[in-house]
Structure 1
Amino acid sequence: MRLQLATWQEVEAYLQRSTGIIMPIGSTEQHGPNGLVGTDAICPEAIAWALGERHDVLVGPTQNLGMAQHHLAFPGTVSLRPSTLIAVLRDTVGSLARHGFTHIFFLNGHGGNIATVNAAFAEIQAERSLGEHSGDELQLTLYNWFTGRRGRELASELFGDAEGGHATPSEVSLSWAAHPEAVKAVAMSPPIAPGGSAQCDARTFRQRFPDGRMGSDPSLASVEHGQRFLQAGVEDALEAYRAFLG
């Protein structure tokens, strides 16, 4: 069930049977020579939509912009400052909590969001602790689809050391499964890109990783692999979501 395709009456009825919601969050940033700029939002969105349809879970709108300043030397990347993303998440959570949602599960597709999202959670809970809030308990969590056990095992089986850390064949495959019309065939040189740290500014990042890849070979990606990652991602995320609901 997607929030954007529901009426307010349907959301009100949903809240009578569940106060949990899944919120996909990602980024709009370069993903190497054959990866889509929207990969980090497309992947968690695809998993969330499939999970929601199969298991009667409400899925909110995807937060497509994240903290991606280190990719800004590549055209197409759009980044929020950490402070901006924190403000967006505070208002998003506040809106949902006002309606009675008590368990908000952020399904994330971008490693660069992790620190900022956790900082936003700390700000939200501090406001509740320091204020005079007396409403329902509010539980927040961040789950990264790419850390799920089934997905990691599948990436190891299919790609081994060529998985890498950014513009990975697993995420490119999953994004292609969601949008097979956007598949790109591009030669990679060298086949596996150099590795290293992304803790730098945009200019330095592009010097370290000229084509945007980090230790990966996304030429190994395919729609067929992506369909397997979608299934693994749904199973991993459902397991985490059920544990979160307690």
Structure 2
Amino acid sequence: MQIAQMNWRQVEAYLAGDDCIVLPIGSTEQHAHLSLSTDSILAEKVALEAAEPLGIPVLPVMPFGITPYFLAFPGTISLKVETYGRVLMDILDSLAGHGFRRIFIVNGHGGNQPAQAIATDWQARRPEMTIKFHNWWSAPRTMAAVREVDAVASHASWMENFPWTRLQDVVQPAERKPMVDLDRLRMLGPPAVRELLGDGNYGGYYERDDAHMLAIWQIAVQETRDLLEGPWN
């Protein structure tokens, strides 16, 4: 259930029988030839498909994340860690105030990792709350499925190239891009990051057969659903 397709009375009625809700978090950042909203699109879609059979509401995706290293790529929006933390805590405070007690955060962006520590700290001050934090793309079963197709998979490469993250009339390069030196990349500021990366892909093929991609997606949805449905204590 999308919160966007509910009114407040319907949410209140839901809370009379359940206290779980899903919060997808993503980012708006360069993804080479894919959508700038790739991380947000994927986090929200996997959350919605996982939660739908369970009847659990899903909030609109938090579209801005922590991505300062890509600021030399136009269209990238980055929040300071302090700003991000305050926004996230305000969201959690609001949900707790309404009576939600179980919050499932589906993260679609590696740079948002501070969100897990922020949520853990927030939960420690509210013993009545339980939070699960799920990096959907790097979860064990999903990542194993990715590695079965191609061990070289990275940011803005084929592993993020789904029918719903592609842009119309944008042709993906055919070659397999060499992997960037990640240790070097982490030492650089935004202009140097852009110079090193070129189009923004970290390395690997830009696309793979859709049969592989859809199979990976179904594993990701099921893995997310299993965690959402599984034990909470």
How many Å separate the matches in 2 of 1:22 and 1:53? 11
| Structure 1 segment 57-72 matched on structure 2, within 5 A | 57-72=56-71
Residue 105 of structure 1: how far off its partner (Å): 1.0
Residue 201 of structure 1: how far off its partner (Å): 2.5
Amino acid at match of 2:149: L
How many Å separate the matches in 2 of 1:181 and 1:187? 13
How many Å separate the matches in 1 of 2:103 and 2:169? 33
1:93 is aligned to 2:92: yes
1:169 is aligned to 2:158: yes
How many Å separate the matches in 1 of 2:227 and 2:61? 19
Amino acid at match of 2:180: P
What CA RMSD, in Å, does the superposition of the two structures yield over aligned residues? Answer: 2.2
Residue 239 of structure 1: how far off its partner (Å): 1.5
Consecutive unaligned residues in structure 2, runs of 5 or more: none
TM-score, normalised to structure 2, is 0.89
- What fraction of aligned residue pairs are identical, expressed as a percent? 30
Amino acid at match of 1:210: G
Residue 85 of structure 1: how far off its partner (Å): 0.6
Which residue does 2:214 correspond to in 1? Answer: 227
Residue 30 of structure 1: how far off its partner (Å): 0.4
How many Å separate the matches in 2 of 1:179 and 1:147? 18
Which residue does 1:205 correspond to in 2? Answer: 193
How many Å separate the matches in 2 of 1:16 and 1:216? 49
Give the conservation status (yes or no) of the 8 Å contact 1:195–1:215.
Answer: no
Number of aligned residues? 231
Consecutive unaligned residues in structure 1, runs of 5 or more: 130-135
Which residue does 1:40 correspond to in 2? Answer: 39
How many Å separate the matches in 1 of 2:208 and 2:28? 20
Residue 123 of structure 1: how far off its partner (Å): 4.5
Relative to its length, the structure with more helix (as a share) is: 1
Q: Partner of 2:131: helix, strand, or coil?
A: strand
Cα displacement string for residues 68-95 of structure 1 (whole angstroms, at most 9, x for unaligned residues): 1111111111111111110110100000
Label 1:235 to 1:122 Cα distance change in 2 as closer, same or farther (>3 A).
closer
Which residue does 1:133 correspond to in 2? Answer: none
Residue 4 of structure 1: how far off its partner (Å): 1.3
Amino acid at match of 1:42: I
| Structure 1 segment 128-143 matched on structure 2, within 5 A | 128=125, 137-143=128-134
